[in-house]
Amino acid sequence: MRTRDKLAAALREVAAKAGPENAAKYEAFAIRAATGEFDDYADTYDCPITQLHGELTRAGFTKFAARVANGEFDATKEESDEWMRSPSGQEAARRLSPGMRQVLGMKILN
């Protein structure tokens, strides 16, 4: 299961137990999460998972925000590797020195 799907499912699980007003807010977060907006390697924010944490905290959802802060919804190794092969991952790799790419295990594919 992709991290975005795990996050969306967890938000919906909490929404199912929440009162109507908070349930709608959790569902709105779940819809956004399902699109990949908060994926670690998304190009949506400087740090998408930190963006999610801040928004959850501002909404008063501190328990869920703590789950985010504790890494429960961090990207998997497979998602990291997928990003590394993507255009944005390759662009990031090109900006690094060869030594830093080696340390990070990044390879330029083209």
What pLDDT score was predicted for residue 2?
95
Q: At 31, is the pLDDT very low, low, confident or very high (cuts 50, 70, 90)?
A: very high
86 to 19, 45, 60, 70, 100: CA distances (angstroms):
40, 17, 35, 27, 18
- The model's pTM is 0.87
DSSP-H helix ranges across the chain: 3-17, 20-34, 48-58, 62-69, 77-85, 87-95, 98-104
Do the Cβ atoms of 22 and 64 come closer than 8 Å? no
Give the 3-state secondary structure of residue 41.
Answer: coil
Span 94-108, average pLDDT: 92
